[in-house]
Structure 1
Amino acid sequence: MEHKILFFIESQWPLLIGAVALIVMIFKGPLTRKVAGIQEVDPVAAVQLINHEDAVIIDVREQNEWSRGHLPGARHIPLGDLPKYMQDLEKHRGHHVICQCASGMRSARAAASLKKAGFDKIYSLKGGISAWQSAGLPVEK
C-alpha cells in the first residue's frame, strides 16, 4: 500500500506542484507584477498606494484624452513632454509614483524612463484609466 501511494505522488508530482502554485496565486492575489522590469499595479493596489503612501499620479496621455477625465489628483505630463519635466519631478524621487495612460502601454514607457532616471518606487497602472473606470473608481474632469 505504501508503495502505491509513493508511486502516485511521484507520477503526479508536476500536477501537484501546479495545483499548489495555483492555490498560492489565488490566495495571494496579483495586485502587482513586473513587466519588462517595471512594476505594474492594478487599480486596487494603486488606491492603496495613493491612500497609504501618498503616491503621486502622472497621467501621460495627450490633452484631448486628459480632458475627457483623469484620476483625481493626477498630474498631466504627456509622454512626449516627460523629458522636459524630469527636473521638476525630482522632488518626488522618494515617493511612490504611478504612471497612468489609457491602457498601460505609454505608462510603462514613462515608468521605464523614470526608473532609468533613478526613481525606484515607480509603477505603471495596469490597464490604465480603462481598468480604473471598470473598477468603478472616480475620475474628474
Structure 2
Amino acid sequence: MKFIIDNWYLVFVALASGTMLLWPMIKNAGAGTLSPAGAVQLMNREKAVVIDVCETEEFAAGHVGGAKNIPLNQLEERLPTTVKNKALPLVLVCATGARANRAVGIAKKLGYENVQALAGGLKAWREASMPVEKA
C-alpha cells in the first residue's frame, strides 16, 4: 500500500495506458461492427455469408460481391432458410450501417452467434475501394 501511495502517478499512468490500449476493443465489443477490411478477412478465411438487408431496388443498384439480399422487414422469416448453418459467420450490410445494426439483434435472437454489421455500410465499402456488383 505504501508503494501505491508513494508512486500514485505511476499507478495512474499504468491505468491510463491500459485503458487507452483496451478502448478500441471495448468500444466495438457491443456494437458488433466490422471494418471493410475485417469483412473481407471473414469472407476469405472463415467463409462468412454476406447478407444485404437493403430493399430490393437498393440491392440492384449496387451491393457487396456475393451478398444475398434479404430486406430487413423479411429477415426474421427468410434468414433461417437462407443460412441454415448458424455457426457460419454473418456479415450484415445496408447502405449506411443503421439497418444492419438493427439486423444484428434480429439474427442473434434467431440463434446466430457470430453476426456483425459492416460499419458504415456500403458507403464505407465503396470508400475503401472494395468491389461492388450490380444486379
Q: TM over 0.5, yes or no? A: yes
* Matching residue of 2:127: 134
In 2, are the aligned partners of 1:43 and 1:125 still within 8 Å (CA)?
yes
Q: Deviations over 1:76-127 (max 9, x none)?
A: 0110111220331351312111111111111111111110111111111111
Instruction: Give the SS at the match of 2:77.
Output: helix
Q: Which has the larger radius of gyration?
A: 1
Partners in 1 of 2:113 and 2:105 — Cα distance? 10
Q: Does 1:73 align with 2:66?
A: yes
**Deviations for 1:33-77, whole angstroms, at most 9, x for unmatched residues?**
233xx5211111111000000000000011222122100000001
Match of 1:3 in 2: none
Number of residues paired by the alignment? 130
Opposite residue 102 of structure 1, the aligned amino acid is A
1:34 to 1:11, Cα distance in 2 relative to 1, 3 A: closer
**Residue 56 of structure 1 corresponds to which residue in structure 2?**
49
Alpha-carbon distance between aligned partners in 2 of 1:18 and 1:45, rounded to the nearest angstrom: 27
- Give the unaligned 5+ runs of structure 2: none
Q: Which runs of 5+ in 1 are unaligned?
A: 1-5
Distance 1:83 1:16 in 2: 46
| TM-score with structure 1 setting the length | 0.79
* Aligned pair partner of 2:16 in 15, 18, 24: 18
- Asked if the contact 2:76–2:110 (Cα under 8 Å) also holds between the matched residues in 1, the reply is no
Percent identity over the alignment is 33
Q: Distance in 2 between matches of 1:70 and 1:92?
A: 23
Alignment equivalent of 2:108, drawn from 115, 118, 141: 115
